[in-house]
Structure 1
Amino acid sequence: MALLVLLFITSVFSVEPSDFTLTALDSSFCHGKLQVIYPEMDIGECSVIPKGLRKKISTIWEAPQIFFTEASEKKPYVLVMADPDAPSRSNPVAAHWRHWLVANIQGSGLKEGKIQGTTLTGYAPPTPPQKCGFHRYQFMLFQQPPETPVTLTEREKSSRGKWNLQAFIKRFHLRKPVATLQFLTQNYHD
């Protein structure tokens, strides 16, 4: 299904000629059958957003649906969406920029594409600055340890930028993500 959607999108929205392709490291980030679904785009593997969709993903579309069919129905999960390339991939001094953070997500909801949980950081669409190149937008799904309340510190609540993702993972014993996915995009004016 995802392949058919991707074929449709690439036939409708041509990818502009570019020397940019995913690196092996970018491609290796994705694992675990996580699906991120926007109104005209189903992302099931590491990819580059076509130029014709960059304005929509940045300014029109709201939070995507998140599907994880491998979720354990009775276990809670934590979803992170972060940009490790803020303000640019060559100078990520504001990384990680936290775009979305939801805890206590029910596995049964993930199987149906419904994020039913506690929103700790509301969804902010990918909006890379002009002339800074491509940014990676990474989705990481962690199994949340039972009976572990996941929260943000006051400092974390005060800013989305310069978020210490590794400290957050360690603080709540989240371990390795059960599924990850990323897409790359750049400012739609570029």
Structure 2
Amino acid sequence: VNIIGKDLSSGQTLTSYVGPGPPPTTGLHRYVLLVYKQKAEILDTEWGDKNRASWSAANFAKKHDLGDPVAGNFFQAKNAVQ
């Protein structure tokens, strides 16, 4: 968050990236990556790894008045043990 212009090093990390890890025998899982343009600095200290399972991108965007995403991508992954 809080990236100034195109300078990624100016931003702050709210939580570290954790790659996909779907449980065995659960089939394909979708992973979505979204990019928003911020209107103001985000000072969110409520986020953390303990909240990852219940976190909502829509709620985060609404809370911080982010509007619609300006970019996005997705991928699917499944556990190799099926």
Alignment partner, residue 36 of structure 2 = 142
Q: How does 1:18-97 map to 2 (within 5 A)?
A: none
- Map 1:107-186; keep pairs closer than 5 Å: 107-109=5-7, 115-116=8-9, 117-146=11-40, 148-153=41-46, 156-157=47-48, 158-186=50-78
CA distance in 2, matches of 1:152, 1:166: 17
* 1:147-181 deviation digits (Å, cap 9, x = unpaired): x324142xx43321111322211110001000010
**RMSD over equivalenced CA pairs, Å:** 1.6
Q: Tell me: higher relative CO, structure 1 or 2? Use CA pairs within 8 A at least 6 residues apart.
A: 2
Kindly report structure 1 stretches of 4+ aligned residues shifted beyond 2 Å.
156-159
TM-score if structure 2 supplies the norm length? 0.83
Tell me which amino acid in the other structure corresponds to 1:172. Answer: H
Specify the alignment match of 2:3 in structure 1.
Answer: 105
CA distance in 2, matches of 1:106, 1:187: 37
TM-score, structure 1 length as denominator? Answer: 0.39
Higher strand fraction: Structure 1 or Structure 2?
1
| Percent of pairs with identical residues | 32
**Structure 1 position 188, deviation (Å):** 2.2
- Count of equivalent residues: 80
Q: Which runs of 5+ in 2 are unaligned?
A: none
What are the Cα deviations for residues 91-142 of structure 1, in whole angstroms up to 9, with x where unaligned? xxxxxxxxxxxx0123323xxxxx4210001111111111101111111000
Higher radius of gyration, 1 or 2: 1
Q: Which ranges in structure 1 are unaligned for 5 or more consecutive residues?
A: 1-102, 110-114
Aligned counterparts of 1:167 and 1:152: Cα–Cα separation in 2: 15
CA distance in 2, matches of 1:136, 1:152: 27
